[in-house]
Amino acid sequence: MEIGMLLKKIGLNDKEAAVFASLLELGPSPVREVARKSSVNRGTAYDVLRALIKQGLVSYFDTKTHQHFVAEPPEKLLALVSEKQEGLKALKKQIEESLPELSSAFKKQGGRPVVKMYEGKRGVRTILEDVLNTFSKSKQKVYYVYSSSTVRKNVYEAMPDFSQQRIAKKIRVKTIALGSGGKLFGLDERKWMQLPEEGLKPVYELIYSGKVAHISLDNSANPVGVVIEDREIFETQKMIFEFNWGKL
């Protein structure tokens, strides 16, 4: 991997990566040489060097005429990564401890439905991951799906191992298949609702834990998801689903 790209992956910005990479090649050098080699203006190069010194990646020494800067051995990069990992662990712990307070603040949004939009396979994957994460922390482990034959393939292409993860987490699902197709995987029940072959393109709908997610295809056949978070809408959709389930 190119050195500059590697440095940016561990958290250095563009100028920091350019200056450090230049120092690795130059060896001990005055700021003028570092600026020339890294294509960073002299004033900015000096500021960047001070920032790298604070991170423990650069040191310096004085001569009779100039201050010379030196890149620390590459092993220092590993130490920097380790420090950041420890910092992230501490931050994760702080967030976990603050979750009740954060969740309380999140719920005080005026009682209005929260609507979020997701695009493409990555967006659909985010919705499916939310289903798994939500039920991982819940005693009630069942949700409801209207599975559209026109959208189903796009949904599970976004997360091919979704069913396996769902089963591993002991999450049950009741599915009403809109149109033909679909199969059982485990911890699921499925019924079929026959629909007209032409003129109707229903969305794929998930009803889960206070949320209703609608996934459809845009004019370019790319999946688009809309998630509505509202207890009343959820309960209404759940009631309609259970009514239809009982009739099939």
Q: What are phi and psi of 130, to 5 degrees?
A: -65, -40
User: In this predicted structure, what is the pLDDT of residue 186?
Assistant: 85
Tokens of 160: 């091919």
**What sign does the dihedral 200-206-207-213 (CA atoms) show?**
negative
In tens, the pLDDT along 114-153 reads: 889 999 999 999 999 999 998 887 788 899 999 888 888 8
In tens, the pLDDT along 169-197 reads: 999 999 998 877 777 888 889 998 887 66
The tens place of each residue's pLDDT in the chain, 248 residues long, gives 577 788 888 888 899 989 988 888 888 889 999 999 999 998 898 899 999 898 888 988 887 778 898 988 888 888 888 888 888 888 888 888 888 777 776 666 556 778 899 999 999 999 999 999 988 877 888 999 998 888 888 888 899 999 999 999 999 999 998 877 777 888 889 998 887 666 567 789 999 999 999 999 888 888 899 999 888 999 999 999 999 999 88
Close Cβ partners of 226 (under 8 Å, ≥ 6 residues apart): 115, 116, 117, 118, 213, 214
CA atoms within 13 Å, Cβ hemisphere of 96: 6
Q: Which domains does the chain have, with CATH numbers?
A: 3-76 (1.10.10.10), 113-247 (3.30.870.10)
User: In this predicted structure, what is the pLDDT of residue 225?
Assistant: 92
Q: How many beta carbons lie within 10 A of that of residue 101, not counting itself?
A: 9
Close Cβ partners of 196 (under 8 Å, ≥ 6 residues apart): none
Q: How many beta carbons lie within 10 A of that of residue 184, not counting itself?
A: 10
User: In this predicted structure, what is the pLDDT of residue 2?
Assistant: 76
Q: Which residue has the tokens 């920091």?
A: 16
Cβ 142 vs Cβ 242: under 8 Å: no
Longest dimension (CA), the chain: 92
